[in-house]
Chain A
Amino acid sequence: MTNIRERLADLLGLDGVSELALDASRSPLPMAKPTDEAELCAVLELAARDGLRVLPVGAGSRLTWCRPPTECDLALSTRRLAGVVAYEPGDGTLTALAGTPMDVLARTAADGGHHVTPDVPRPAGTTLGGVLAGGASGFDRLRHGPARWHLLGTRVAEADGRVTTSGGRLVKNVTGYDLHRLYCGSQGSLCVILEASLRLFPLPERRVVVRRSFPDAESGLAAAWAVARLAVEPLAVVLTDRPDAGGAPWSLEIVLGGRKARVAWERGEIEAALGEVAIEEDGVARAALLRDLEPDPTHAPALHLTSRPSRVAGVLSRAHGLLGSSGVTTTSVIHPGVATVDLPLPASFDGLAGLVRELRSIDGARVAVRGTDLPEGLEPLDPPRAGLALMRRLRGVCDPDGRFATGRVL
């Protein structure tokens, strides 16, 4: 171990090496922190030479989204590969290095009147590369869809230290295979993302949040359906009983954004459909608060249930039932239109494996459990529905020696 650290320090200097604690059961990993592409590739070449297994990481905010690595000799952080490479306000595209925090991207784009999707929770603690590799989508998914839709191209380092590209910086482009779509959500198991280009959207001129309280989740979901049938296109619709959201006991929050005329009209439509509503005029702050309600699994485990919009009510009621009978009281953050339900769990909870097993028997639901030090044998994700053999072959051709993020995905 010291040996690896020393070799890394030789390459990167003392500043370029630190450590990463993955979980309580393992000693921390040495972590290489290159400052540029050349250094990063040098680390990969070293790893290739010495047969070391590498865990690519950004800010580490999504390390719990799939299995921890089974074998790993060092972590490779892209955090210091930070900075906006090109922001083209006239073209609505942005290219940045993988380690750039998402809040920096958002601010840069906002200066030119653009909005960056995905609008992820706690953006200061995330990086572009980590968010993409983690397959994270944003709070704004209802309007803009998953992040992978707007990834225009990547520059990546392969296992042998070679740098390759796919896609480009153009809003429309079908030149070559969309390898960046493969990398998006690959959890660092295929390559290290060095740089990525995103399509931007107009920054909403105005944002307001329309809220209404409901006595129970069912009536809240029914109201969300009523809104979904309108010709409005909110940035997000959230139903939650989180006390920090302040609704009593359930609060349906509709985040509107866009040009002033549109927001005014949409607000009127929703008022007409829902009756008495409260309006939060400072939509930016309220939206950020709602966005950050997504549980942070680095401290305590959380469940992330997905289904189809039409099935959310059924999945939610079954999940609540199962949680209740497990003696867990929890809160929920539901995006009904996207069909996700997030449920934070108590930090120490013995029945987790059993509960997840039962939740996975709910028809039409996919259950992810996010957290560090999960019980032995508890799979954080449902298995892929099909294509496992193909996925293995893809990993085989992208990373023939199985160097990256070993055991994380397959």
Chain B
Amino acid sequence: MDAALLAALGAIVGDDGLIGDAVRRKPYECDGLTFHKRAPDLVLLPENTEQTVHCMRLLCEAGVPVVPRGAGTGLAGGATPLEGGVVVGTARMRRVLEVDVVDRFARVEAGLVNLDLSRACATHGLFYAPDPSSQMACTIGGNVANNSGGPHCFKYGATTRHILGLKIVTPEGEVLDLSEPEVDPTGYDLVGLFVGSEGMFGLATEITTRLVPLPEVTETLLAVFPSLEACCDSVTEIIAARLEPSAIEILDRMTIQAVEASVYAAGYPEQAEAVLLLESEGSAAEVGENVADMRAILVRHGVLEERRARDEHERARLWAGRKGAFGAMGRIAPDLYVADVVVPRTKLRELVLASTRIAHARGLTISNVFHAGDGNLHPNISYDRRDADEVERVLDAGREIMKLCVAAGGSLSGEHGIGLEKREEMELVFDPPSLERMLRVRSAWDRDGRMNPGKLIPVRVCMELRTPPPAPISKARG
């Protein structure tokens, strides 16, 4: 990297914010997905929007690719700088700037850890609803990039339903200040479009989020099933009966055993084939009615045992087990491939079983822990990345699972994003004109394709479309 550019960047972010040596750059070679690796040429950790702006201007002039990074907990390789360039991290931007208790919103810096936002407003009886399993590490900025989900998104919706405004630093280093919450945007919904754009449109430095009131009553149930099939079927029926729990999660036996061996041991029965973690929120009357109806369904599907969290401590423990499940799989093998397919909720059983068959046919170890209520499956395949043949089989199984789910009316990703991992599979879901449209919309934000290059759009589509550049602004009539 050019010495003058390095010096100029260093002058902006200071010594602490510039990481140039090979050792300290190395951990930035991947995020939570360790399949693909490439260390960035440089890492910058600006402390605020202003520093970000100045860095982005210099990087724009130099024509260097920029890869935004939050906490690096993504599972699709979205923060992996596969084409080199500079990683711009938000780890030093983590202040809560404003909590408006009356109008119920918060303005925070992008690097704030998800859980810290809820903690910051708990005393006001409010919280930030999207709760990815990595919420004690992942950042709000990363959540915005991926439109992240979480168990409680079943009731509250994914990140996009909770973002009211953004302050975005554009690839050219301009500030696009859309941080003021608006009832309806005039013109196009730039905020809505930006959420889930996987760092390819710009870098959000400030985020305005909704806050929602903490529920009056929360009832958490752990239902133990003799089979994964029965567990899936009871969820399908709960959805079809239009009952409104706030979260419905399934964990299978292997996951339960891994969790129970960990610091997050939640008291899930280790001999159970599957457990269902169910939650209902609201007024006491409503929760009572809801839980009674759900329990009737559980009984119909042969539930073996139901446990009710007696207090907040027990409830937290049940959830901690669920949220630590991904990490706990480290006990089974050194690496984990987490698929993130979504399927119609009428087909849970069929597709969970088929995914398992696909993995077993390739001699792989598979476990399941997923957001059943949203139809968001996570078939998890344990492997060792030092075994090249096993890696190939894992990738092949992942592709097969995606194909199968797409064919059944499902999709590639429910919350982790496409990133590098599912990029080529985008062609399973979208035809070339649709992908071309995405690429063109991206070019309106980022003319040179410098922001997080190589993600989301299949290579073939990019190759085909390199030639005709987007129409110049002067030609567009508006």
Residues of A within 8 A of B (CB): 88-93, 113-114, 135, 137, 145-146, 148-149, 158, 162-166, 168-179, 181-182, 184-186, 189-190, 202-203, 231-233, 258-262, 264-266, 306-310, 338-340, 366, 381-402, 406-407, 409-410
Does chain A have a CB within 8 A of B13?
Answer: no
B88 at the interface (CB under 8 A from A): no
User: Could you mark each residue 153-185 of chain B with 1 if its beta carbon is under 8 Å from any beta carbon of chain A, else 0?
Assistant: 100011011000000001000001110111111
Q: Is B51 an interface residue (CB 8 A)?
A: no
B444 x A393 contact (CB < 8 A): yes
CA distance A56 to B412 in the complex (A): 32
B444-A265 in contact (CB<8A): no
B183 touches A181 (CB 8 A): no
Contacts of B441 in A (CB 8 A): 177, 179, 182, 394, 397-398
Judge whether A174 and B417 touch: CB under 8 Å: yes
Chain A residue with Cβ nearest B342: A170
Binary CB contact string for chain B from 101 to 142 against chain A (1 if under 8 A, 0 otherwise): 011000000000000000000000000000000000000000
Let me know if B283 and A262 touch, CB within 8 A.
yes
Contact B286 A259 (CB under 8 A): yes
Cβ-neighbour of A91 out of B188, B344, B415 (below 8 A):
B344
Contacts of A407 in B (CB 8 A): 478
Once A and B bind, how many residue pairs between them come within 8 Å at the CB atom? 267
In the complex formed, the residue of A with least CB distance to B471 is: A400
* Extra 6 A-B pairs, beta carbons < 8 Å, given A170-B409, A172-B414, A397-B444: A166-B437, A170-B411, A175-B426, A202-B242, A384-B185, A410-B478
Q: In chain B between 176 and 210, which residues have their CB closer than 8 angstroms to a CB of chain A?
A: 176-178, 180-190, 192-193, 195-197
Contacts of A170 in B (CB 8 A): 342-344, 375, 409-411, 414
Known pairs A173-B411, A261-B288; A91 contacts B375 (CB<8 A): yes
In the complex, the answer to whether B342 meets A185 with C-beta atoms within 8 Å is no
In angstroms, Cα B345 to Cα A39, docked, is 34
User: When the two chains form their complex, are residues B476 and A392 in contact, meaning their CB atoms are under 8 A apart?
Assistant: yes
A309 vs B440: C-alpha distance when bound (angstroms): 38
Knowing A306-B183, A366-B182, A409-B188, say if A172 contacts B437 (CB, 8 Å). no
Within 8 A of A (CB), among B421-446: 422, 426, 429-431, 433-438, 440-445
A262 and B285: CB pair below 8 A?
yes
* B176 cross-chain contacts in A, Cβ below 8 A: 386-387, 390
Rounded to whole Å, the gap between the CB of B464 and the closest CB of chain A is 14
Q: How close is A109's CB to chain B, nearest CB, in angstroms?
A: 11
The complex places the Cα of A231 from the Cα of B435 at a distance, in Å, of 44
A387 touches B187 (CB 8 A): yes
Which single member of A162, A175, A394 contacts B412 (CB below 8 Å)? Answer: A175
Asked if A261 and B286 make an inter-chain contact with CB atoms under 8 angstroms apart, the answer reads yes
Nearest A residue to B345, CB-CB: A91
Question: Once bound together, how far apart are the Cα atoms of A338 and B429, in whole Å?
Answer: 36
Minimum CB–CB distance from A294 to chain B (whole Å) comes to 14
Closest approach, in angstroms, between the C-beta of A18 and any C-beta of chain B? 27
- B376: CB under 8 A from chain A? yes
Q: In the complex where A338-B183, A385-B178 touch, is A392 in contact with B193 (Cβ < 8 A)?
A: no
Q: A390-B444, A396-B444 are in contact. Are A174 and B158 (CB under 8 A)?
A: yes
Chain A residues contacting B181 (CB-CB under 8 Å) are 308
| B429:A391 contact, CB within 8 angstroms | no
Say whether B375 contacts A391, CB under 8 Å: no
Nearest A residue (CB) for B288: A261
**Size bracket of the B interface:** 35 or more
Chain B residues near A260: list those with CB within 8 A: 289
Contact (Cβ within 8 A) A177 B186 = no
Interface membership of chain B positions 208-243, coded 1 if the CB is closer than 8 angstroms to chain A and 0 otherwise: 000001011000000000000000000010011011
- Contacts A/B (CB < 8 Å), 24 sampled: A89-B240, A90-B239, A90-B346, A92-B345, A148-B189, A169-B409, A170-B375, A172-B375, A172-B376, A174-B147, A176-B426, A176-B430, A182-B192, A184-B189, A306-B183, A310-B103, A366-B186, A383-B186, A386-B178, A391-B478, A392-B473, A394-B188, A394-B444, A400-B470
Contact between chains at B184 and A114 (CB < 8 Å): no
Q: What is the CB-to-nearest-CB distance from A320 to chain B, in angstroms, rounded to a whole number? A: 20
In the A-B complex, the 10 residue pairs with the smallest Cβ-Cβ separation, listed nearest first, are A402-B477, A396-B476, A410-B478, A181-B192, A306-B183, A202-B242, A262-B286, A393-B444, A400-B471, A261-B285
Among A162, A179, A385, A388, which residue has the most Cβ atoms of chain B within 10 A? A385
Expressed in whole angstroms, the minimum distance between the Cβ of A307 and any Cβ of chain B is: 8
Most B-side CB within 10 Å, residue of A340, A390, A410: A390
Contacts of B426 in A (CB 8 A): 175-176
Using Cβ atoms and an 8 Å threshold, which residues of chain A touch B477?
Answer: 401-402, 406
The yes or no answer to B290 lying at the interface (CB within 8 A) is yes
Contact call A149/B478, Cβ cutoff below 8 A? no
> Which of chain B's residues has its CB closest to A114's CB?
B242
A184 CA to B478 CA in the complex, in Å?
17
Query: How far does the Cβ of B159 sit from chain A's closest Cβ, in whole Å?
Result: 9
Query: Across the interface, do A176 and B456 meet the contact criterion of CB distance under 8 Å?
Result: yes
Contacts of A92 in B (CB 8 A): 239, 242, 345
Q: Which residues of A contact B378 (CB under 8 A)?
A: none
Distance of B451 from chain A, by nearest CB (Å): 13
* Closest Cβ–Cβ distance, residue A187 to chain B (whole Å): 9
Nearest Cβ in chain A — how far from B131, in angstroms? 14
| B371 within 8 Å of A (CB atoms) | yes
Beyond A391-B190, A409-B187, whether A176 also contacts B444 by CB under 8 A is no
- Cβ distance A410 to chain B, nearest Cβ, rounded Å: 3
Q: Mark B439-478, 1 if CB is under 8 A from A, else 0.
A: 0111111000000000010000000000000111101111
**Interface residue from B182, B188, B195, B409 paired with A178 (Cβ < 8 Å):** B195
Closest to B159 in A: A174
**Chain A neighbourhood of B436, CB < 8 A:** 164
Residue among B176, B177, B284, B477 facing the most chain A CB atoms (10 A cut-off): B477
Best-buried of A146, A176, A190, A306 by chain B (most CB within 10 Å): A176
Q: Contacts of B417 on A, CB cut-off 8 Å? A: 174
Interface string of B387-425 (1 = CB under 8 A from A): 000000000000000000000011111111110001000
B84 lies within 8 A of chain A by Cβ? no
Cβ-defined partner of B429 (8 Å) among A176, A258, A261, A399: A176
- Considering the chains assembled together, what is the distance between the CA atoms of A391 and B376 in angstroms? 33
Given contacts A149-B160, A185-B188, A409-B478, contact A310 B438 (CB under 8 A): no
- Identify B342's interface contact among A173, A178, A390, A396, CB under 8 A: A173
Q: Given A174-B416, A395-B476, are A164 and B437 neighbors across the interface (CB < 8 Å)?
A: yes
- B149 contacts the other chain (Cβ, under 8 Å)? yes
